[in-house]
Amino acid sequence: MPETPTTDGPTVLHVGGASPYDVVVGRSLLDRLPELIGGGVQQVALLYAGDLEQQAQRVAESLIDSYDVLALGLPDGESAKSAAVANDCWEALGERNFTRSDVVVTLGGGATTDLGGFVAASWLRGVRVVHIPTTLLAMVDAAVGGKTGINTGAGKNLVGAFHEPAGVLCDLEFLDTLPADELVAGLGEVVKCGFIADPEILRLVEAGPDAARDPRSPVLRELVERSIRVKIDVVVADLKETGGLDGHPGREALNYGHTMAHAIERATGYAIRHGEAVAIGSIFVAELARAAGVIDDELADRHRTAFASVGLPVAWSGEAGFDDLLATMAVDKKSRGSQLRFVVLDELAKPRILAGPDEAHLRAAYAAITRSA
């Protein structure tokens, strides 16, 4: 399907590759869901964030005339991303004799799309899944690109699979009920996209932080579409994170700020929001790059101002201590053997890997993110 420009109507962003699909962005999009579910489907398993009972009811009602709908409410937020919850879903699918011609639909934030995507990836070794993200973060990031996963005691997203959706419906109307703090957390991934690939995102955020936080503003819609385009470009070039060309880290670029972010999330028992941790983690890698002489002061300082402009945290109170965080960072998927690897910027929108940084530089960067907390 050709890409259509931003208007009041829906924008269709096409994801190419071996299993192509569309990401539809707009308002009041539910009538497009059957088109993404596809033909020949008898059952739809609707896996939804338990908090979103009303929204789930609306989606179920839109499907009930055409499919047998199995609606499964999941625990709220990050607690859905566990082996126990995945097992509950597998048992429910088994009871219904859910076959390979049936489809999973997820409705919720990134925790729901990660868990639901993983259930779809693993059930019968893979059934179709359509994501309906309801948070800003899930729209711009989690629902697109096929990364799915759950957490283990050792850390975040350590079990999972690459399983691309059959379609993604980003209905901006869901953002009308999203608490302001959750919307701001989603901007953490948006600003990340600005640093790694699309500086126009930074310009828009810095010029209009209030518009960026307004779910009905054209600025937010442009930020959503630009961030999804960044993600699509990266995953089409390197779906399974095997590496990029000419020094570009490939899909690992999307992990900017995430090595420290995931360690902080685990240290807080997932009390901090992912997007907030990404803001702090991105400042950590900017400070690491500054300490290693990779980026200049202006670019390092811009990280603080850009994330702070929309109300994201730029420091951490540091209750876990550097050594604890370092131990968690060792199990990051970018690590190779005992060597830590971080995504840093050579310059704005030019990411690369910094492998095996000096411990003194890591400690300096940690001091910089805890200093002002």
Ligand X SMILES: O=C(O)C(=O)C[C@@H](O)[C@H](O)[C@H](O)COP(=O)(O)O
Binders of ligand NAD among 100-119, rule CB under 6 A?
108-112, 114
User: Could you tell me the smallest distance in angstroms from the CB atom of residue 206 to ligand NAD?
Assistant: 22
String of contacts with ligand X for each residue 145-184, x by CB under 6 A: x-x---------x---------------------------
- Given candidates 81, 213, 229, 251, which one binds ligand X under the rule CB under 6 A? 251
Site residue total, ligand X (CB under 6 A): 10
Neighbouring-strand partners of residue 70: 45
Q: Which string of x and - marks every residue 259-298 that binds ligand NAD (by CB under 6 A)?
A: --------------xxx-----------------------
Could you count the other beta carbons within 10 Å of the beta carbon of residue 206? 16
* Out of 254, 312, 365, 368, the residue judged to bind ligand X by CB under 6 A: 254
| Count helices and strands in the chain by DSSP H and E runs | 14, 11
Least distance in angstroms from the C-beta of 241 to ligand NAD: 11
Q: What DSSP line would sit under 288-346, residue for residue?
A: HHHHTTSS-HHHHHHHHHHHHHTT-------TT-HHHHHHHHTTSTT-BTTB-EEEEEE
Rounded to whole angstroms, the Cα distance separating 56 from 116 reads 14
Interface with ligand X includes 185 (CB under 6 A)? no
List of residues 6+ apart from 208 with CB closer than 8 A: 217, 219
Residue closer to ligand NAD by CB (options 165, 244) is 165
> Segment contacting ligand X (CB under 6 A): 221-229, 247-255, 283-291, 363-371?
247-255
CB atoms within 10 A of CB 69: 18
Q: Is 342 annotated as belonging to a binding site?
A: no
Joined tokens for residue 276: 């907030």
Q: C-alpha 281: how far from its chain's center?
A: 15
Residue 189 a catalytic site member: yes
Does the footprint of ligand X cover residue 198 (CB under 6 A)? no
Tell me which of ligand X, ligand NAD, none is bound by residue 255, counting a contact when its beta carbon lies within the kind-specific cut-off of 5 to 8 angstroms.
ligand X
Q: Establish whether 147 is a catalytic residue.
A: yes
**Residue 226: phi, psi to the nearest 5?**
-65, -40
Q: Is 268 annotated as a binding residue?
A: no
Looking at residue 169, what DSSP letter applies? E
SS3 content of the chain, % helix, strand, coil (to 5): 50, 20, 30
- Interface characters, 174-213, with ligand NAD (x: CB under 6 A): x--xx---x--x----------------------------
* Rounded Cα gap, residues 198 and 266, in angstroms: 29
3-state secondary structure (DSSP) of residue 227: helix
Q: For the chain, give the longest Cα–Cα distance.
A: 63
CB crowding 171-199: b at 16 or more within 10 Å, else e:
bbebbeebeeebbbbbbbbbbbbbbbbbe
332 touches ligand NAD by CB under 6 A: no
Annotated binding site for Zn(2+): 189, 258, 274
Task: Give the residues lining the site for ligand NAD (CB under 6 A).
Answer: 49, 51-52, 76-78, 81, 108-112, 114, 134-135, 137-138, 141-142, 145, 147, 157, 174, 177-178, 182, 185, 273-275
**Which residues are at the interface with ligand X (CB under 6 A)?**
141, 145, 147, 157, 189, 251, 254-255, 258, 333
Q: Tell me the binding residues.
A: 76-81, 110-114, 134-135, 147, 156, 174-177, 189, 258, 274
Binding residues for NAD(+): 76-81, 110-114, 134-135, 147, 156, 174-177
